[in-house]
Amino acid sequence: MRVPGLGYGARVRYRRLGDSGIEVSEISLGSWLTYGAGVQRDQTETCTRAAFEAGINLFDTSNVYGRGAAEVAWGEILPDYPRDSYVLATKVFFPMSDTDGGLSREQIQKQLDASLYRLRTDYVDLYQCHRPDPDTPIEETMEALTEVVQQGKVREIGFSEWTVEQIQAGLEVPGTRKWVSSQPQYNMLWRAPEAELIPFCREHGISQIVWSPLAQGVLTGKYRPGEQPPPDSRAASDDMSVAIDRYMSDGVLEAVQRLVPIAEGAGLRMAELALAWVLREDNVASAIIGASRPEQVQANAAASGVQLSRDVLEAIDEALGDVVVTGPRLANFAREGVKHR
């Protein structure tokens, strides 16, 4: 059901990021496969403006998105807004050249400085390790992250798609900064984080900032089994269709279509249903959305504050059946294991 007063033009609600003092909007704006890549600058600017108008304050990017282009795009736009009015998050790990990549002290310092230059800011609020780096001692990584916090370049630290073993190893390095956030893939179809990650993080004061809460747009219901993707959709774009294949089987698309009457019965759009489902989990601080049009930002922001009844949640589970992915899964480009000095 929709909470009275929330809808298009409404301001989103906020949640605390782990055990930090940072409050983030339940819906956040991301830039993977969009800004600096598949979406032009004027669209990026209008989507960013729409986010601010909706009360979205968390903007998530990475040095590797467009090989720096996504950071450059926001570096041209975000300085128009007061720096204390938004929470800026970026990431480090993936190769930026043949010789740059990973989570060594040298790379963390070098890549952070490059990100700050592209973003035209003195600091980021959240610096995230985009994947684990089992080739670098965990002590070196955690000490380097602590250094950049002490230098005033970073407020808090997080990670994306680490195993519980790797997270624990980071927490155990003495005298270093503690994680406050985790960024996993999480949605109605991909529930792998529920098995181990979310319970562990809840116990240790670490929040989830989830990516792909709409399963790359599949959970909006726009893709129909046996039909070609709409020409203006992410799946139809060479630049923006990365990693969508896992959701495009007829079995998955048929299951998603069974959600349509559930959303209608709850008085919700499909995107609102999917985002509200993710946000039902109190360990989730924010759900990252991608948008190429401002109306998408507004529609997704309307999911903030929506509460799903037990009957609706049970109907969702029944509709999706066995297409749901459960149990711990290793993310693409992630490796298990921890190296110590």
CB 184 within 8 A of CB 211: yes
Q: How far is CA 323 from CA 191, 217, 229, 260, in A?
A: 11, 16, 20, 16
DSSP class per residue in 233-253:
SGGG-TTT-TT-GGG-SHHHH
User: What is the chain's alpha carbon radius of gyration, rounded to the nearest angstrom?
Assistant: 19
Single out the residue of 166, 197, 196 nearest to residue 183, CA to CA.
197
- In the 8-state DSSP scheme, what is residue 326? -
Alpha carbon 301 to chain centroid, angstroms: 15
CB 13 within 8 A of CB 3: no
The verdict on whether 65 is a catalytic residue reads yes
Alpha carbon 340 to chain centroid, angstroms: 29
Single out the residue of 2, 5, 40, 55 nearest to residue 286, CA to CA.
55
- In the 8-state DSSP scheme, what is residue 172? T
H or E stretch at 201: helix 197-203
Rounded (5°) CA angle 244-246-250: 105
Q: How far is CA 330 from CA 51, 196, 213, 257, 333, in A?
A: 32, 12, 18, 28, 8
Catalytic entry in 65, 86, 223, 247: 65
Single out the residue of 78, 26, 93 nearest to residue 300, CA to CA.
26
d(C-alpha 281, C-alpha 273), whole Å: 13
d(C-alpha 333, C-alpha 341), whole Å: 23
Specify the 3-state DSSP secondary structure of 29. Answer: strand
Residues taking part in catalysis: 65
